[in-house]
Structure 1
Amino acid sequence: MEMGMRNHELVPLELIASISKIHRGAVSCSLINLAKHGTVAHERGKRCKLTLLCCEEICRILDDGYRLTTLGYDILALKDLCSREVVGAVGNQIGVGKESDVFVGGDPKLNDLVLKFHRLGRISFRKLKEKRDYCKKRKSCSWLYLSSLAAAKEFAFLKALHDHNFPLPRPIDRCRHVVVMDLINGTTLCHVQKLNDVEGLYEKLMNIIVRLARYGLIHGDFNEFNIMLTEEEEPVLIDLPQMVSMDHTNAQFYFERDVNCVRTFFRRRFNYESELYPNFDAMTRKYNLDVEVSASGFTPRMSKVYEKVLFQSYLILLKNSCY
């Protein structure tokens, strides 16, 4: 079914039987049992509305068939991670965001680690009810596929930045929409009320933004919710799916937004405001880490697909905010 969903929103029973090389009757019985456990869902043919980039709506008829649910996709990813002996246990949920769920876990030797399940389409993209042809020859792009793209992007940047000694968790492995990384003992910056050295932390955060720019990258979502603070008040970046290249069309916008997020937070939380902050025009690229990331697995084509759906969702949210 997962193979069928590469180019089908709903996978017909006949196609599932053909791909699996199992008799149709046996496949039907298995699907009924899987549906009872919530790992797959059956949908009959229906007429739905499709929102285009121009914000016009057209009707489209979906075929009868089956699709993987989020639970089913989670199980597939965890099964593969367990077979690779990467994950041995999954514990409590320790974080929830607009686009991800974070759980504490353990490897087969019960060393602590973190599992991040990407959930595109859950909240911030809920208004975008139908996924069009973002994938060139694909007939559709499911939210499961887009979540897998987000995980691929984050893992690629985690690995590249960790290899260059940026402050972030050590990436361990990725499977589908799940990223496995080291557990960081600390507190999310948004929950910190007091600091021993406010000015020192402010400078460290601005230095990270500048250093990223010199490596050809912009975080894109550099705020108190995506930064952890250790007991020694050392910042650690924990969320990277929004990261873009310094060559991006809107690079200056993202760079200035990152800087202003830090300045605004320090002014409101710690009553601290500095006249010293980085300027986009003064940034000089010295390395091409964005190029390295493209070569490491997250290709420019994958990036275009991911960024296009983000732009589509932004248009829909903007349209709704006007009413």
Structure 2
Amino acid sequence: MLLDTYGRKATDLRVSLTDRCNLRCTYCMPEEGLQWLEKPSLLSDDEIVRLVHIAVTRLGVEEVRFTGGEPLLRRGLVEIVGRCAELEPRPKLSLTSNGIGLERTAQALAAAGLDRINISLDTLDPEVFHRLTRRKRHADVLAGLRAAKEAGLEPVKVNTVLMPGLNENEAPELLAWAVEHGYELRFIEQMPLDAQHGWQREGMITAGDILASLRSRFRLEPEPDEARGSAPAERWIVDGGPERVGVIASVTRPFCRACDRTRLTADGQVRTCLFATEESDLRGALREGASDEHVAELWRKAMWGKKAGAGIDDPSFVQPQRPMSAIGG
């Protein structure tokens, strides 16, 4: 098992397949993009599958989520999903994507064994989308959402970040749209993981702000705590149900005590937390010929040192050097 000194067990693995992305979201990276990882430093398809195999068969991982950057940019994605779906015991497989290109690949991913998908969409307004992402791809994201639903990758979850002066008033409209189309909407507080290190707590749209906005149009009842488990989102029953809306309040309502996640970057580094400032190298061990058990032991040691919490509220908090696109969502 992947245990830490606080008794938490990591059963959920987030695997970043690339740090590259075809959007330039203002809360993530600058308009000109970033210095991408060189190809030799990236894990190969075989190395990714081997690490997932170690995690599932030796370390008790039950769920694997592929992230980026934008994971649909990884050419071997469908094959990676298919090979991981063949593992015993079979892990639950999911994907976090911006949806661009999903219209072409949703059916193939479902056939390969992908169970469900989360798609990022911050606005229903194409012009606001352009201002937020610096790309005119709004219609492509909507097409990707439809394709995911048609392929049976359900529940299709929609991740939304609200930004001051851009889309902060769209929460009720977004929820009405999600309910109409059968998507599960999840609002995510903006986190200090932007490449520009320009995040500021003052002025950010908080979970409290989001819920107040939603309640101007909907009746929300909190889901029982036991239904949440270790999930990052607090969920609310909308107008008596069965629809739900989630809020991930990493900044104002941290959920570190129930965290069950371990993370693997596209270049093979273990991260115990999104906000970790330290990493443990597994790629080097793989390429030096280490056995599966030796790699597993390195992973166990990394997780044993996991901190109690992200520490965003601590005056000594330091934003990690890697931005979200290089860590994996």
> Which structure is richer in relative contact order (CA contacts within 8 A, separation 6 or more)?
2
Q: Give me the TM-score of the superposition, normalised by structure 1.
A: 0.25
Bigger CA radius of gyration: 1
Greater fraction helix: 1
